[in-house]
Each structure stands twice: as structure tokens, then as C-alpha cells.
Structure 1
Amino acid sequence: MQNSDIDAGLTPPPLMPKVERQRLHDTVVEHIRRFIVEGALEPGKKLNERELCETLGISRTPLREALKVLAAEGLIEIEPNRGASVSKMSEAEMREMFELMSGLEAFSGELAAERMTAAELGEIKALHYAMLACRAQNDLAGYYSRNQAIHDKINEAARNSALRQTYLSLNRRLQAMRFRSNFQTPKWDSAIHDHDEMLKALEARDGKRLSAILRQHLLDKRDAVLQVQSREDAAAVKLKA
């Protein structure tokens, strides 16, 4: 009884340190993920822990925790006694993953056109116009973040949790390549045209039309990425020769 009375009077330990630690963890993961997506850390590049710690102003413990998360997402590879490096997909893997994503996005669009609320459509419109403003300023990073938010909101509006989880998992691995697909101005402008058509289909609640646009949009991105990769591989061969 006495021990119970003592236990009942104990003050629970403060939770703030755990919250702050989790916030740091999430922030580090997001920063490194952005480095990979925007090409600051290129596919195949070996990660220098000391440099990353200095850049982010952190110790090695939160960095290594973040690297484990990114490894689970497939963005980096960690080898015993060799450290971590940015994952690099083969051409076959790129083709397969973009083909799968084209199907996921197409299905998302079909469901979203039916289930999306007026408020959600308004949010997508606002993102669309902000994305156009970034294009006018040649701000690829700003354009891409809004572009991805649009795709994400369409997927969210599908209201299918199984589809949502599969989409998020695959999209993490494709984000860097989706970013690279806009390196050429004609490809970037073509993507803008696709988004104009997506918005029209959403406003008309035309799920079949939106599905077809999204599927082709992703397949076009696949082709653009493979073209960029082919040129980079050819340039690398020349340098070695």
C-alpha cells in the first residue's frame, strides 16, 4: 500500500525532450531527402558523414538514425564497413517503377474525380497557379514542390488507404527522377500543359479523362528521365576514355 501511495504521487517525466528529438530526426530526414531529390547528392554518390554533419549542424547520432530511415525508403544503401551511398536504379528498374506509378496515379485520378470535395479542388487550383508562377520565374525547386503537392492531393482525395500507402512508398524512390524530368525546357513546358488538362478534367469530374492524362504524364516522365540518364552515361564513358 505504501509503495502504491508513493507511486501515485510521482510526477511523470516531461515529454518535451522526446518531441524535440523526433522533430530533429524528421528534419534531418527531410533535409537529406531534399538533397537527393534536387541532385545535391547524386545517384551512386558515397555519403561523407562528417560533411553532412557540418552542413546540417548535427552530431553523427541523428544523422545515422536518419540514414536508416532513408535506407528503408530505398533512397540510400548502407553497406557494412563501407558506409552509405545514394541508391542508383538500373534502366530496367526505372522503366518498371514509372510504369507502376503511372497505374497508381491513373487510378488515383479516377477515384479523386469522383470523391474530391470542392475545398480540395480549390487547394489544387491554388497550388496550380503558384506552380505556374514558379515556372515563370524559372524556379524549378519551387515548381517541383507545388507540382508534387498537386499529385499528392489527388492521391489523397482518392480516399483509398491501401492505394495511399503504396503510392507514398513508391513515390519516395521516384522523386529525384521526377525532378530531373524537367531539366529540359520543352519537357517542363509539356508537363505544364498536362497539368492544365488535369485541372480541367478535375473541374469536369471526368475521372476517365484525368486517369488517361495522369498515366501518359508519368510515362512521358519516364522517357524524359531515361533520355537524361542516357546522356549522362555517355558523358561518363567519354570522361573515362
Structure 2
Amino acid sequence: MSLPKVVRPLLRDEAYDHIRQAIVDGSLPPGAPLRDGDLAEQLGLSKAPVREALRRLAEEGLVDSKPQSYTRVSEVMSPDVLDAREIVRVLHEFAVRQAAAKCRPHDIAAMRAANDRFAKAIEAGDVKAAVKADDELHDVPVRLAGNAAVAATLDRYTPLLRRLEHARFSSALAWNSVLRHTKLIDALEAHDAATAVSVIATIWTDLLEDR
């Protein structure tokens, strides 16, 4: 038996990950021009993988591009963001509805621990850690739902909402999220699908309304 060789990550994927993170965390703010040469130099890459990364980010709505005119970071609010919010909300509703009957004590414990990390990150002003903990909390019902298409679609569209999360989690509104997380966890622990769906809908709807 022979094992396949380990393949290094594609440079275009590395470029994509780095540029996307900089857009999401605000290092590259809305409207910032994106020049492939400058980005390639900063990342230590050639222009080709950077151009491919920018093309992919444009398809995802994080970059605005007009051939021979401009390539820039998209605005935080756009039709793409509104559409993504609706898709993400509906899929999380599906996930918690499926997860409500499947949650076990260790799943609930994992969500409570994630919410504790989230609260501590908010208190410390560590938005990056807050986003990570928020992801870990919501990943539990998504995993329990057991639907690969749902998980993949969330992975595709959630980045469009990251900048809204960064703004929310750096403000006093973040404490509303702590409380709503607790209500969601309590509902899942009680196997109360209706309440869990109602709470998760509020979490994602208020990402835009509580601004």
C-alpha cells in the first residue's frame, strides 16, 4: 500500500484566506483599493494567485471589481449582504430544528463553554476571539443537523456577514448576543425546537437591525 503525497496548500488559497481575513476584520476597510501588485508584495506572492483570490472574493461579494477601472473592498451593506443574511438565518433555523431532538449533555456543555469564552472575549475587547467562540457555539447545532450542504453553504455566505459581527461584537450590543445564546442553549437543552428556531432567527435578524 502506498500513501499519497502531502500536497502544500495552493498559493491562491493562501492569498484568498489572508485577503478575506483582512477585509473581514477591517484591516482593508470598505472602499479600499486592491492592487494586485501591492497585495502580492505584502503577501510575498506573485500576482497570479492574488488575482485569482480577488476574482473569487468578487464572486462572493467582498470585492467590487470593474475591468480596466477599479478593484476595491465592497461596502459593508449591500444587496449581497442582505441576501446572505437571509440564507444564513434560514439555514441556522433548519440546523437548530434538526439539532433540538439530538442534543446531548456534552453538546449543551460545549455550547455553554463557547458562550462563556464569547462573554470573556467581549469583556476583554477581543473581537477576534469573540467571533471564534461564536462560531464554535453555532457549529454545534450545524454539526448535529448532519447536512453537508447546509454546512458548506454557511461556509460560503457567512463571511459576508463577518464585518457586521465585528462591529456588533465591539459594541455594547454584544451582551445581547450573550443572553440570546443562553436562551438558545436552554431551548436546545429542553429539546424545544420552536423556541430554539425563534431565538436563532432573532440572533441573525438583529445582526442588521441592532446597529
**TM-score with structure 2 length normalisation?**
0.83
Read off the aligned partner of 2:92 and give its amino acid letter: E
Report what 1:104 is aligned to.
Answer: 91
The one-letter amino acid paired with 2:54 is L
Return closer, same or farther for 1:57/1:121 CA change in 2, 3 Å cut-off: farther
Are 1:163 and 2:150 an aligned pair? yes
Q: Are the counterparts in 2 of residues 116 and 157 from structure 1 also a CA contact under 8 Å? A: yes
Task: Using the TM superposition, give the Cα deviation of residue 69 of structure 1 relative to its aligned residue in structure 2, in angstroms.
Answer: 2.4
Q: Aligned with 1:46: secondary structure? A: coil
- Name the counterpart of 2:75: 88
Residues 193 and 90 from structure 1, CA distance in 2 versus in 1: closer, same or farther, beyond 3 angstroms? closer
Match of 2:204 in 1: 218
In the alignment, is the contact (CA less than 8 A) between 2:100 and 2:196 conserved in 1?
yes
Give the aligned residue type for 1:188: A
Q: Please tell me whether the aligned partners of residues 101 and 170 of structure 1 are also in contact (alpha carbons under 8 angstroms).
A: yes
1:172 aligns with 2:159: yes
The 1:45–1:139 alpha-carbon spacing in structure 2 relative to 1, beyond 3 Å, is same
The equivalent residue for 1:232 is none
Corresponding residue number in structure 2 for 1:79: 66
Q: Measured at CA, do residues 59 and 92 of structure 1 come closer, stay the same or move farther in structure 2, by a change above 3 Å? A: closer
The question of 1:20 aligning with 2:2 is answered no
Residues 135 and 90 from structure 1, CA distance in 2 versus in 1: closer, same or farther, beyond 3 angstroms?
Answer: closer
Counterpart amino acid of 1:155?
Answer: V
**2:26 corresponds to 1:39:** yes
CA contact (8 A) 1:98 1:218 kept: yes
In structure 1, what is the Cα distance between the partners aligned to 2:78 and 2:12?
A: 32
Secondary structure of 1:40's aligned partner? coil
Q: Is the 8 A contact 1:128 1:150 kept in 2?
A: yes
What one-letter code is carried by the residue in structure 1 that aligns with 2:209? D
Q: Which moved more, 1:89-98 or 1:199-208?
A: 89-98
Q: Structure 1 residue 63 and structure 2 residue 38: aligned?
A: no
Q: How far did 1:158 drift?
A: 1.3
1:154-181 deviation per Cα after TM superposition (whole angstroms, max 9, x unaligned): 2232112333333333223222223223
- The alignment partner of 2:185 has SS state of helix
Q: 2:99·2:144 contact (CA, 8 Å) conserved in 1? A: yes
Counterpart CA distance in 2 for 1:212 and 1:31 is 35
Residue 116 (structure 2) pairs with residue 129 (structure 1): yes
Task: Give the CA RMSD over aligned residues.
Answer: 2.6
How big is the shift at 1:15? 4.8
Matches within 5 A, 1:228-239: none
The structure with the larger Rg is 1
Separation in 1 of the partners of 2:66 and 2:183? 44
Matches within 5 A, 1:198-213: 198-213=184-199
In 2: Cα distance, 1:157 partner to 1:86 partner: 35
Of Structure 1 and Structure 2, the greater helix share is in: 1
Query: 1:134 and 1:90, CA in 2 relative to 1: closer, same or farther beyond 3 A?
Result: closer
Cα offset, 1:212, TM superposition: 0.7
Q: CA deviation at 1:211?
A: 0.9
> For 1:77, what is the secondary structure of its paired residue?
strand
Q: Report the counterpart of residue 150 of structure 1 in structure 2.
A: 137
Matches of 1:146 and 1:193 in 2, distance apart? 14
Whole-angstrom distance in 2 between the partners of 1:101 and 1:80: 30
Residue 80 (structure 1) shift: 1.5
Q: What's the TM-score once normalised by structure 1's chain length?
A: 0.74
Q: Is the 8 A contact 1:28 1:66 kept in 2?
A: yes
